[in-house]
Amino acid sequence: MESKKLLTVGIKNSLPLELTMLLWNLHQNKKDRDYLTVFKFKKENGILIAEHRQEEPEYSKEYEIKIDIEEPETIFIIDDVIDKIKISTMMFASEY
């Protein structure tokens, strides 16, 4: 099955490429994925903490990311299949 990755304008214009790539990798490497992946962020002592979670099957894991950026808002990655093409879209929660 063909697959495509899409970014919203908000992600493309404001999220550093290295963070975007890391989130795609975390999403793709999760074997039993739900259609909705959620990344929530917080900063502690100058380190960005990303909580990677989903509802079905229930999953939550935190990652420390050494990147010098402001704390981003929550990010969704939504998987869908349209005309036999798997499409994954990364967006800020506010763009949903």
Q: What is the DSSP secondary structure assignment for residue 11, as one 8-state letter?
A: H
Look at the block and give the residue holding tokens 């909580």: 51
Mean pLDDT score of the chain: 95
Measure the CA–CA gap between 88 and 65, rounded to whole angstroms. Answer: 23
Angle at 70 between CA 69 and CA 72, to 5 degrees: 105
Q: Where are the domains of the chain?
A: 2-95
Instruction: Give pLDDT tens digits for 22-60.
Output: 999 999 999 899 999 999 999 999 999 999 999 999 999
Which pair of tokens denotes residue 56? 């079905």
The torsion angles phi and psi of 54, rounded to 5 degrees, stand at -155, 165
The DSSP symbol for 35 reads: S
How sure is the predictor about 2, in pLDDT bands with cuts at 50, 70 and 90? confident
What share of the chain has pLDDT > 90, as a percent?
A: 94
Q: Using one digit for the tens of pLDDT, what is the confidence trace for 50-81? A: 999 999 999 999 999 999 999 999 999 999 99
In the CATH scheme, what architecture does the domain 2-95 have? Roll (3.10)
